[in-house]
């Protein structure tokens, strides 16, 4: 039988009401939200369950998303399901690390809050941005970006035909024009507060490393794949450096998925708001089985899928 990976989405898929039905129906999910509020001194439930404009502000989005993913995971685990691997895109790497046992919930959730604060304050508003490049070969994008005069680079290798670039606002606009000329189907500016996963966030990454130096890091009980190099993490040695560098390095999501496929994974369970990763997966490997868990009603589909595999 094939192996299973539980995967967590990144920032941008959040919405009002996310996780509320898990909170109302699973004690283990409720405990995650309640414990997070104690740890952070924030009204996470209001942030996630009600219409709250703060949900789209990075310093609030990141802890809200991580807590919601882990609350949904708690319900999946309550039903007796565990994966062979974890993975997560960008912010989603944090619930993966916490779920893997490498960093405790008690230390991991405040770390996510610190990450959000550092990333939000790293670059003055309006100085940087991100854009999705659709329908252009990765090598062509890399060749075009080499010519850039300012700081701009690839932030996310999401899947074939979708790459995200990040950097200085003006250079980003120039490169967007160049990429369109080079044959990109579309170049879409993203509604984000900064140039995440670019060299402009190096100082934020270094500050995060200081925070990480105070955190207890263990070898994962269940391995996960790291965003910066798409390698399976089985021991504690590289975790601090990997997480700090992730802030200003490319997220190699497509490679992470290919690593998991090579490890024998054929069932991917996306746990968290939205279906973004499922979309990427179908472009990376059409044959992969993907189940989304973002509502309690989705749990039945997971049960059926797992039982059908025997």
90 is catalytic: yes
At 125, the pLDDT band (50, 70, 90 cuts) reads confident
Judged by phi (left if over 0) then psi (alpha if -120 to 50, else beta), residue 166 lies in: beta
Domains of the chain and any CATH numbers: 3-122+200-309 (3.40.366.10), 128-192 (3.30.70.250)
Selected catalytic residue, list 90, 166, 193, 242: 90
Q: 294-303 long-range CB contacts below 8 Å, 24 or more apart?
A: 294/18, 294/72, 295/21, 296/21, 296/22, 296/25, 296/26, 296/75, 297/21, 299/75, 299/76, 299/79, 302/76, 302/79, 302/81, 302/269, 303/79
197 is catalytic: yes
Selected catalytic residue, list 166, 176, 193, 197: 197
At 1, the pLDDT band (50, 70, 90 cuts) reads confident
Q: What is the pLDDT, as a whole number, of residue 126?
A: 82
- Distance between CA atoms of 252 and 228, rounded to whole angstroms? 6
pLDDT digits (tens, 9 = 90+) for 90-123: 999 999 999 999 999 999 999 999 999 999 999 8
């Amino acid at each position: 039988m094939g192996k299973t990976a539980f995967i967590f989405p990144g920032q941008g898929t959040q919405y009002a009401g996310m996780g509320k039905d898990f909170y109302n129906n699973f004690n283990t999910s409720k405990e995650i939200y309640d414990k997070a509020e104690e740890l952070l001194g924030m009204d996470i439930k209001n942030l996630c369950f009600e219409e709250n404009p703060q949900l789209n502000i990075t310093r609030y989005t990141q802890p809200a998303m991580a807590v919601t993913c882990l609350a949904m995971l708690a319900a999946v685990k309550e039903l007796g399901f565990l994966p062979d691997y974890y993975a997560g895109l960008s912010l989603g790497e944090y619930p993966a690390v916490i779920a893997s046992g490498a960093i405790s919930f008690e230390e991991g959730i405040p770390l996510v809050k610190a990450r959000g604060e550092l990333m939000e304050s790293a670059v003055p508003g309006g100085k940087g941005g991100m854009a999705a490049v659709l329908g252009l070969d990765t090598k062509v994008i890399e060749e075009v970006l080499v010519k850039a005069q300012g700081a701009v680079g690839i932030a996310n290798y999401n899947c074939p035909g979708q790459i995200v670039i990040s950097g200085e606002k003006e250079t980003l606009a120039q490169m967007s024009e160049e990429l369109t000329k080079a044959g990109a189907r579309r170049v879409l500016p993203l509604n984000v507060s900064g140039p995440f996963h670019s060299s402009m966030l190096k100082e934020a990454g270094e500050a995060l490393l200081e925070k990480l130096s105070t955190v207890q890091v263990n070898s994962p009980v269940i391995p996960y794949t790291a965003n910066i190099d798409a390698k399976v993490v089985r021991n504690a040695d590289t975790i601090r450096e990997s997480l700090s560098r992730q802030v200003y390095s490319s997220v190699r999501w497509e490679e992470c998925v290919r690593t998991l496929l090579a490890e024998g994974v054929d069932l991917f369970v996306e746990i968290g708001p939205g279906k973004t990763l499922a979309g990427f997966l179908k472009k990376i490997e059409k044959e992969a089985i993907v189940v989304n868990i973002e509502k309690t009603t989705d749990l039945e589909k997971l049960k059926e899928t797992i039982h059908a595999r025997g």
